């Protein structure tokens, strides 16, 4: 019995020692088992863990199985090791390594996690897809030597979880250059990172993680911030791909899931269900019972609906009050806006009138144009008439004659002053016109390109015209020094000597004379007349098309005499044959029989009329009609004389509504807004009345019959007068009777002439 116990104890010790040895080898066996597990396919599903109570047993069983397998493999013969060697190499070839590829010659580095068992050709295909170039043009080098496509990374000495650096270039850099497609802001993020993961107690494993960059920015779903350190932690959904919802195995879009099923089923209580009540021989305690009484006053349906009705009426009253206030506020805003607009329009009209008066006063004090001098002569005529009328009313006999003679002397003195101002203005305008003429001749040719830009081109003729313009400006300047003047004269002399004619010989003689006098020390004041002659002759040289071809298009008189045959007319005033451009056209009689100079001289000597006010009315009329109808023709056929007749004779220089006689405040508008403007479809109104008239839809309903007949009478007078003009007769309404054969209305003096 004792021997048996001793043997049992000895066996327990041996088992204990054997177990101790095996457990010491457990970590190594576990590491090898984990390595084999990591090499398995990622798509293999994980087994469901068992209950907590069986965890220790399953773990111990797995460890013992792993130890048995390790012992079995250790006891295998060498032949078995040789058979297992290809499988081990295959497992090693599936391991990944970090490959850093340098793009030559850009120097950009691409980092890729690649299996070391794959060939260089497969690496080329992967990189070609990333760079979007053909794989045939890629060439990979390692340490300066070109790597063959059949070799793998493992053959090149790359170890699992290791890294290597290679260079890649393109055989055809012109057609297929190597350019990274990744944005520059993502270059600071590596493509592959190594993460150290704890797989057990004190056991860590390095895992290579390849970073995938999304094509679009992920939405920020929030996170947390550490209150002490301030570090922000984002949700995992922001950093990883969204997880797909597992399928429930049922078709959710079928007809059954979208249609409700109704079922009628009778429910019957079981037999053993009953309600206990107090009775004879059965006592039920009522200590926990409660007596529920309705609180408040009982309200009938009629009272309830009456309360609701009063509440609705109260709400409607407040709502209607609010709506009424909104309407009143809107009307008040519209009224304030209307009043402010009317005030603005009145202020604009006042400012426009003041500007016209300031411009009129400015033209009186500093006349520059012909219209300005006509205004002066018109003011002189009014002053003369007032003085003459006052003398005739207050004086008689010799005193009247003496006063009229004194008035005549004053008028003569004023005419002389106006003449001196006119001569000075003509000289100044002459210089401006000459400079404008030279600038136009030297301007480059301009046209709009297909893209809408303004294009310019200088030809040899424009360059010569620009050079001649600069020389003329230098000759005309009086502030040049003696050396600059001599240099300019010599330049002009060499230019004009290229053409031999009487004009160029005269210019050369005058230049030589001035240079000789300048060398003798003659003063500039004595040379002023000579320099003026040189400038005049050189300007004549510039205006000659044979010497300056660019001026041919700017000359009024064409160079071909055959073109003058049908464009020359005789002036009845000065008895000269002039071009048609020297006569003022008129819609009533075509070209006038007097030229512009004779008409202006006759106006200064006799009538002294000022047409600037009628010109302003015609200008405003054309601008308004151009806005309403871009194809309007009748307002552009009328001249100032025709509009003056229309204003003075037909409309008597007064507004049709308020009889305002201020010509600066009158304007022509359409009588019927839908019909084009014409002398027989117009009305003369003040600027304040035009806006109100143009808002009328039907003038026959807005105005009285007497007023409408008076306006129609003026339209008949205008139709009778303008029907004599052949150019405007085509625009008459054939349905309305004309005035053919009738006596025309008295025409103004300009048309009768």
Give the pLDDT confidence of 690-719 residue by residue, as tens digits: 888 888 888 898 899 999 999 999 999 998
Phi and psi, residue 671, nearest 5°:
-75, -50
∠ CA 685-589-585, rounded to 5°? 80
* Side-chain-facing half-sphere of 296: CA atoms under 13 Å: 3
Q: In the predicted model, what is the mean pLDDT of the chain? A: 76
| Contact assessment for residue 580 and residue 596, using Cβ atoms and an 8 Å cutoff | no
In 3-state terms the chain splits into helix, strand, coil percentages (rounded to 5) of: 55, 10, 35
Give pTM, 2 decimals: 0.48
Confidence (pLDDT) at 663 = 84
d(C-alpha 409, C-alpha 413), whole Å = 6
Residue 112's beta-bridge partner residues? 99
d(C-alpha 234, C-alpha 239), whole Å = 8
Confidence (pLDDT) at 272 = 61
List Cβ neighbours of 135 (8 Å cut-off, separation of 6 or more).
Answer: 121, 124, 125, 127, 128
Residue 337 has pLDDT above 90, yes or no: yes
One DSSP character per residue, 449-498 reads: -TTSPEEEE--HHHHHHHHHHHHHHHHH-S---HHHHHHHHHHHHHHHTT
One DSSP character per residue, 294-341 reads: --S----HHHHHHHHHHHHHHHHHHHHHHHHHHHHHHHHHHHHHHHHH
Range scoring the smallest mean pLDDT among 49-53, 128-132, 269-273, 619-623: 49-53
Q: Beta strands of 93-191 (E only): which ranges? A: 96-103, 109-115, 138-142, 145-146, 163-170
| Contact assessment for residue 161 and residue 196, using Cβ atoms and an 8 Å cutoff | no
List Cβ neighbours of 112 (8 Å cut-off, separation of 6 or more).
Answer: 98, 99, 101, 123, 126, 127, 191, 192, 210
| Contact assessment for residue 314 and residue 308, using Cβ atoms and an 8 Å cutoff | no
| Contact assessment for residue 364 and residue 418, using Cβ atoms and an 8 Å cutoff | no
d(C-alpha 684, C-alpha 660), whole Å = 10
More confident residue, 145 or 182: 145
Domain 94-212: which CATH number of 3.30.499.10, 3.30.420.40, 3.40.50.2300, 3.10.20.90: 3.10.20.90
Instruction: Specify the DSSP element, H or E, that contains 223.
Output: strand 223-225
Confidence (pLDDT) at 243 = 64
Per DSSP, 588 falls in state: T
Confidence (pLDDT) at 709 = 93
Give the pLDDT confidence of 543-572 residue by residue, as tens digits: 998 898 888 888 776 666 666 667 778 888
The 10 Å Cβ neighbour count of residue 594 is: 19
Question: Could you report how far apart the first and last alpha carbons of the chain are, in Å?
Answer: 169
Class of residue 549 by CB neighbours under 10 A (exposed 0-12, middle 13-18, buried 19+): middle
Give the pLDDT confidence of 144-175 residue by residue, as tens digits: 777 877 788 777 777 777 778 788 888 877 77
| Contact assessment for residue 233 and residue 239, using Cβ atoms and an 8 Å cutoff | no
Confidence (pLDDT) at 77 = 38
Nearest to 506 by CA among 479, 476, 539, 484: 539
List Cβ neighbours of 422 (8 Å cut-off, separation of 6 or more).
Answer: 367, 373
* Side-chain-facing half-sphere of 20: CA atoms under 13 Å: 6
Give the pLDDT confidence of 450-488 residue by residue, as tens digits: 888 888 888 889 999 999 999 999 988 888 888 899 999
Q: Beta strands of 558-681 (E only): which ranges? A: 568-570, 577-579, 583-586, 590-595, 666-670
The 10 Å Cβ neighbour count of residue 692 is: 11
Which pLDDT band, with edges at 50, 70 and 90, does 582 fall under?
confident
Three-class SS of 231-279: CEEECHHHHCCCCCCCCCCCCCCCHHHHCCCCCCCCCCCCCCCCCCCCE
d(C-alpha 103, C-alpha 101), whole Å = 6
d(C-alpha 583, C-alpha 385), whole Å = 31
Residue 52 has pLDDT above 90, yes or no: no
Which pLDDT band, with edges at 50, 70 and 90, does 597 fall under?
confident
d(C-alpha 276, C-alpha 225), whole Å = 63
The 10 Å Cβ neighbour count of residue 410 is: 14
* Side-chain-facing half-sphere of 155: CA atoms under 13 Å: 10
List Cβ neighbours of 371 (8 Å cut-off, separation of 6 or more).
Answer: 363, 610, 611, 612, 615
More confident residue, 80 or 179: 179
Per DSSP, 748 falls in state: P
Which pLDDT band, with edges at 50, 70 and 90, does 301 fall under?
very high
The three-class DSSP label of residue 180 is coil
Domain 556-608: which CATH number of 3.30.60, 3.30.70, 3.30.450, 2.40.50: 3.30.60
Orientation angle between helical segments 612-628 and 370-394, nearest 10 degrees: 130
């Amino acid at each position: 019995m004792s021997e048996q116990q001793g043997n049992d104890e000895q066996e327990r010790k041996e088992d204990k020692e054997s177990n101790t040895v095996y457990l010491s080898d457990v970590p190594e066996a576990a590491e090898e088992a984990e390595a084999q597990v990591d090499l398995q396919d990622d798509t293999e599903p994980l087994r469901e863990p068992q209950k907590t109570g069986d965890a220790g047993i399953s773990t111990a069983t797995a460890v013992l199985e792993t130890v048995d397998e390790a012992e079995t493999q250790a006891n295998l013969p060498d032949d078995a090791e040789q058979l297992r060697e290809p499988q081990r190499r295959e497992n090693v070839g599936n391991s990944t390594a970090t490959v850093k590829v340098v793009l030559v010659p850009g120097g950009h580095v691409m980092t890729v996690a690649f299996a070391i068992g794959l060939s260089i050709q497969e690496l080329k295909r992967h990189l070609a897809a990333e760079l979007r170039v053909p794989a045939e043009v890629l060439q990979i080098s390692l340490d300066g030597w070109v790597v063959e496509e059949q070799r793998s990374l493992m053959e090149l000495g790359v170890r699992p979880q290791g890294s290597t650096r290679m260079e890649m270039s393109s055989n055809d850099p012109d057609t297929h250059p190597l350019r990274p497609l990744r944005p520059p802001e993502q270059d600071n993020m590596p493509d592959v990172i190594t993460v150290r993961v704890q797989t057990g107690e004190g056991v860590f494993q390095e895992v290579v993680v390849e970073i995938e960059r999304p094509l679009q920015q992920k939405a920020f779903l929030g996170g947390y911030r550490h209150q002490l350190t301030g570090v922000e932690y984002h949700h995992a959904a922001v950093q990883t791909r969204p997880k797909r919802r597992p399928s429930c195995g049922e078709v959710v879009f079928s007809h059954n899931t979208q249609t409700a099923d109704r079922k009628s089923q009778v429910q019957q209580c079981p037999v053993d269900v009953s309600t206990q009540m107090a009775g004879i021989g059965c006592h039920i305690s009522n200590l926990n019972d409660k007596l529920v009484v309705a609180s408040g006053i009982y309200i009938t349906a009629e009272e309830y609906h009456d309360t609701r009705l009063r509440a609705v009426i109260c709400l409607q009253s407040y709502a209607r009050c609010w709506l009424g206030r909104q309407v009143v506020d809107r009307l008040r805003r519209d009224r304030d806006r209307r009043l402010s607009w009317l005030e603005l329009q009145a202020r604009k009209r006042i400012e426009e009138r003041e500007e016209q008066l300031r411009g009129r006063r400015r033209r009186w004090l500093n006349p520059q144009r012909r219209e300005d001098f006509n205004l002066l002569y018109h003011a002189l005529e009014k002053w003369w008439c007032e003085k003459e009328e006052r003398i005739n009313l207050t004086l008689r006999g010799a005193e009247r004659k003496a006063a009229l003679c004194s008035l005549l002397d004053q008028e003569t003195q004023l005419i002389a002053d106006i003449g001196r101002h006119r001569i000075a203005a003509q000289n100044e305008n002459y210089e401006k016109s000459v400079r404008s003429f030279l600038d136009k001749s030297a301007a480059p040719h301009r046209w709009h390109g297909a893209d809408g830009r303004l294009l310019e081109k200088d030809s040899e003729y424009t360059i010569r015209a620009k050079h001649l313009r600069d020389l003329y400006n230098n000759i005309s300047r009086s502030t040049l020094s003696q050396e600059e003047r001599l240099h300019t004269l010599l330049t002009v002399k060499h230019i004009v000597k290229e053409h031999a004619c009487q004009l160029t010989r005269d210019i050369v003689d005058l230049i030589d004379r001035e240079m000789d006098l300048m060398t003798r020390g003659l003063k500039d004041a004595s040379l002023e007349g000579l320099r003026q002659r040189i400038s005049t002759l050189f300007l004549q040289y510039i205006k000659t098309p044979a010497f300056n071809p660019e001026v041919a298009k700017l000359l009024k008189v064409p160079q071909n005499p055959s073109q003058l045959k049908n464009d020359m007319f005789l002036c009845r005033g000065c008895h000269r044959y002039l071009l048609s451009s020297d006569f003022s056209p008129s819609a009533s009689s075509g070209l006038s029989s007097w030229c512009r100079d004779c008409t202006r001289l006759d106006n200064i000597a006799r009538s002294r009329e000022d047409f600037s006010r009628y010109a302003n009315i015609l200008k405003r009329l054309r601008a308004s009609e151009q806005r309403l109808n871009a194809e309007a023709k009748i307002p552009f056929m009328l001249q100032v004389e025709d509009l003056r007749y229309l204003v003075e004779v037909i409309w008597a220089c007064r507004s049709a509504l308020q009889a305002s006689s201020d010509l600066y405040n009158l304007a022509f508008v359409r009588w019927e807004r839908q019909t084009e403007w014409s002398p027989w479809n117009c009305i003369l109104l003040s600027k304040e009345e035009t806006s109100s008239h143009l808002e009328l839809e039907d003038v026959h309903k807005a105005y009285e019959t007497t007023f409408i007949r008076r306006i129609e009478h003026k339209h008949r007078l205008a139709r009778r007068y303008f029907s004599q003009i052949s150019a405007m007769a085509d625009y008459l309404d054939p349905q309305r009777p004309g005035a053919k054969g009738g006596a025309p209305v008295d025409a103004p003096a300009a048309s009768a002439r």
